Every structure is written in structure tokens, then in C-alpha cells.
Structure 1
């Protein structure tokens, strides 16, 4: 993380200047945060050491269909659970949230602990959450349409066309979903494990979120689903197994398009390499 004066930070990222109306006095300093792929965020520290995270709205967040307004609404709705950071301030330039102090669980989180946190997310009430349900087909179509023509070739085209439709599944209800839950987005704190980076979160089939976790962590699907259902006291396990298995190739395709779009936006070859590895997984 690069640490610099507030004035220098505002010079590098003009969105930070939008916070002048919020802070009584200029912050002591700001630091760039590493680790996020979509979000180029800042840690802001005041003279009394109180800290925040600034999550700007940019052309990049627009490209990935990320809404800071929706992120704020979700964090506000679950504020009492203390699962995520407290939302502090929202404006047209971005979202300010609390800085969660603790140890990042990038390499120290067992999958069972991850599932327990996932269950907590899925059990949050969505009745009064003012967000539209997640539309899988609309999201992958947005990614595809945002790609330049030289990406819209084989084998990407066939994979996209085959898996762009939402699966026809037995309904198990909808839930709050994080859509990027892994150790790199979890912090070990005095209050237990807390979750950060809710920018992709939405209301959807929880089996989609579970499939994403299984895919990210490279876990065995059947074992993961059975353990998840055990944690939630779910008896109709077959509906969850069928659902996760139906979602798995779709979340892989969605990730494939994400990496292609990331390569288009940033030009980093690692994203194209990741996309190619996902293509090969369809041949296994």
C-alpha cells in the first residue's frame, strides 16, 4: 500500500475531493489498497487514527455492472448483523465505509469456516432490502456485449451461447448472496469473521452463491453441498445438489467473461491466461 498525504491522494484520484464536504478537517493521510481486482480503493486515516475505506464509482465499476448505491443499500440493511463494514457516506463519486481492523484470512481460512459465514449471509432477511433480484442472463449478456469483437470468437462464443440461460430448477427461495466470498474478502476480528467487498452482492438463488464459493475454492461439489445443507438443517438435499451442479458451468462461464472484460480494460495478460484456463476446464 502506498501512503501519501491527503492532498497528493486527491491529486491522483479526483473522486476523493468529493469527501471534503464530509470531513470536518482534512484526513491525515491516505493509502492505496491492493488486492481488489475491480475496486481500486483507498484507506483514509484521520488525525485521531479513525479509518475508513473509500470505494469510488468509476468507468471500471460501470463496466462490471457494479452499483455503489446497491452496495450501500445492502450494507445498510445488514448493518445490525455486523457481518460487513458499516456504510458511512454515499455520494455520486463513491461509497465510504468503515475500515475493519483485523487479520485478512487469505491463507488461513478452512472451507468449513467459509461455509458457516456463507450461511450467515444467506440467512439475512431480504424482505425490506431495496434491491432488485440478480438477473444472471442480463449480467452475462452485459459482459458479452461490452466485449470488443475480437473477443467474440471461438471457443468463447460457443461457451457463452451454451450457458447464458438460467437453469430451470426447483425453487428453494431467494437469499442475500455475496458472490465473491473467499478468504481474501474476510477479516478475523474481535467480533469473529467479518466480510468485506460487497460490490457484487445481490438477491438471488443461494445455490448460485454456493456454486461460486465451490468454484473459487476448488472444493468437491457433493461434499460441499452436503455440509452446507447440514449447517442449515436442510432436508431436501437433492434440490441443492441439482441446483449447484446446474450453476457450476454457468458461474465458470460468467468468470470467463469477467476475465476477458478485465483483459480488455486493463490489458494485463494474466487475465487472458485465466480465461484460457477456464476454457480448458470445459473440456475436462
Structure 2
């Protein structure tokens, strides 16, 4: 993380100037945060040690269909749960949230602990969250249409076309979903675990959210869903297991397209290799 004066940071990232009037005195310094893949955020530290995170709007957030206003709406609606950081200030340039002090679980988290906090998130009353439900089809199409033709090999295109439609499943209702719940987005605080980086969060089928977390953690889907259902006292386990299994290949294709788009935007070969790796899992 690069640390610099507030003045230098504002010169490097002009979006910071839109939040300058929020502070009674100019912050002591700002620090780039390198943890997120999509976002290039800032830790802003004030004179008395109070810290915030500035989450700017950029061409990158637009490319990945990220809305800071939706992120603000979700964080505001769940503020009383203390699961996520408190939203502080929103502007057309970005979102300011509180800095969550604690131990980053980037190197891994016990999956049972993850399931417990995920079940808490899914149990939140969505009627008080004023956001439009997530559309899987719209999201994968959004990624695909931005990818340049030279990257759209026949193999990539076949996977996109085969898996672009959501599965036909028994309805289990919609839940608040984080869509990127893993150790790297969790912080161990003195008051328990907190979840950060809500930029992909939306209202959706919770089995989709579970499939994403299971895939990242490389957990056994049947065992993971059974433990989740036990936590939420859900009796119809089969509907949840089959649902999550139906979402797994679709979430893999969505991730594949994300990596292709990330490679196009940043030119980092790592992202292209990740996309190829996902493609190969289907071929094998």
C-alpha cells in the first residue's frame, strides 16, 4: 500500500476531491488499498486517527456493472446488523464507508464460520432494501458484449451460450446476497466477523450466492449445503442442493467472463490464465 499526503492523493485520484468537504480538516494521509480486484480504493486517515475507505466510481466499476449508489443503499439498509461497514457519504464520484479495524482473513477462513455469517445475511429482510433484483442473464451478457472479438474464441463462446440462461428451479425466495463472500472479504474484529466489499451485492436466489462461495472455497457442495440448511433450519435440503448444483457451472462461466474482461481492461496475463483454467475444467 502506497501512503501519501492528502494533497498528493487528490492529485493522483481527483475523485477524492468530491469528498474533501466532508472533513472538518484535511485528512492526515491517504493510502492505496490493493486487496480488491475490481476496485482501486483508498484508506483515508484523519488527524485524530479516525479512518475511512473511499470507493470511487471509475470506468472499471462501470465495466463490471457496479453501482456505488446500490452499494450505499444496501449498506444503509443493513447498518443496524453491524455485519458490514457503515456507509458515511455518497456522491456521483464514489462512496465513503467506515474503515473496519481488525485482522484480515485473506489467508483463509473456517468455512463453517463463513456459512454462519452467510446465513445471517440471507436471513435479512429484503423488503427494506430498495434495489432491483439481480439478473444473471443481464450480467453475463453485459460482460460478453464488452469483450473484444479477438478474445471470443469458439470455446469461450460455446460456454457462454450454453450457460447464459439461469436454471429452472423451485422457488425458495430471494435473499440479500454478497456475491463475493470469502476470507479476503472478511475481517475479524473485537466484536466478531464483519464482511467488507459489498460492491457486487444484490437481491437474488441465495443458492447462487452459496454456489459462488462453495466454488471459491472448493468445498463439497452437498456437505456445505446440508450444513447451511441446518443453520437456517431448512428442511427441504434437496431443493437447495440441486439448486446450488445447477448454479455452479453458471457461476463458473460468469467468473470466466469476468476474468476475460479483467484481462482486457488491465492486460494482466494472470486473469487470462484464470479464464483458460475455468474453460479447461469444462473441457475435461
TM-score > 0.5, shorter chain as reference: yes
Rounded Cα–Cα distance in structure 2 between residues aligned with 1:271 and 1:234: 37
| Residue 141 of structure 2 corresponds to residue 141 of structure 1 | yes
Q: How does 1:117-136 map to 2 (within 5 A)?
A: 117-136=117-136
Rounded Cα–Cα distance in structure 1 between residues aligned with 2:222 and 2:206: 16
Q: Which residue of 2 aligns with 1:23?
A: 23
Rounded Cα–Cα distance in structure 2 between residues aligned with 1:250 and 1:4: 42
Long gaps (5+) in structure 2: none
The Cα shift of 1:283 comes to 2.3
Q: How does 1:132-171 map to 2 (within 5 A)?
A: 132-171=132-171
Q: C-alpha offsets along residues 79-109 of structure 1, whole Å, 9 cap, x if unaligned? A: 0000000000000000000000000012241
Q: Is the 8 A contact 2:30 2:43 kept in 1?
A: yes
Runs of 4+ in structure 1 deviating by more than 2 angstroms, as ranges, are: none
Rounded Cα–Cα distance in structure 1 between residues aligned with 2:255 and 2:21: 38
Q: Is the 8 A contact 2:108 2:184 kept in 1?
A: no
Q: Which residue of 2 aligns with 1:183?
A: 183
Rounded Cα–Cα distance in structure 2 between residues aligned with 1:129 and 1:45: 30
Rounded Cα–Cα distance in structure 2 between residues aligned with 1:6 and 1:263: 31
Rounded Cα–Cα distance in structure 2 between residues aligned with 1:32 and 1:65: 22
Q: Is the 8 A contact 2:260 2:271 kept in 1?
A: yes
Rounded Cα–Cα distance in structure 1 between residues aligned with 2:5 and 2:212: 39
Rounded Cα–Cα distance in structure 2 between residues aligned with 1:234 and 1:128: 23
The Cα shift of 1:2 comes to 0.8
- Helix, strand or coil at the partner of 2:194: strand
Rounded Cα–Cα distance in structure 2 between residues aligned with 1:78 and 1:58: 25
Q: Which residue of 2 aligns with 1:66?
A: 66
Aligned residues: 284
Q: CA RMSD in A?
A: 0.7
Q: Which residue of 2 aligns with 1:203?
A: 203
Rounded Cα–Cα distance in structure 2 between residues aligned with 1:281 and 1:171: 29
| Residue 214 of structure 2 corresponds to residue 214 of structure 1 | yes
The Cα shift of 1:20 comes to 1.6
TM-score, scaled to structure 2 = 0.99
Rounded Cα–Cα distance in structure 2 between residues aligned with 1:115 and 1:243: 17
Rounded Cα–Cα distance in structure 2 between residues aligned with 1:282 and 1:248: 12
Q: C-alpha offsets along residues 234-269 of structure 1, whole Å, 9 cap, x if unaligned? A: 100110011001000000000000000000000000
Rounded Cα–Cα distance in structure 1 between residues aligned with 2:167 and 2:191: 38
Q: Which residue of 2 aligns with 1:94?
A: 94
TM-score, scaled to structure 1 = 0.99
Q: Which residue of 1 aligns with 2:242?
A: 242
The Cα shift of 1:23 comes to 1.2
Rounded Cα–Cα distance in structure 2 between residues aligned with 1:120 and 1:100: 19
Q: Is the 8 A contact 2:100 2:187 kept in 1?
A: yes
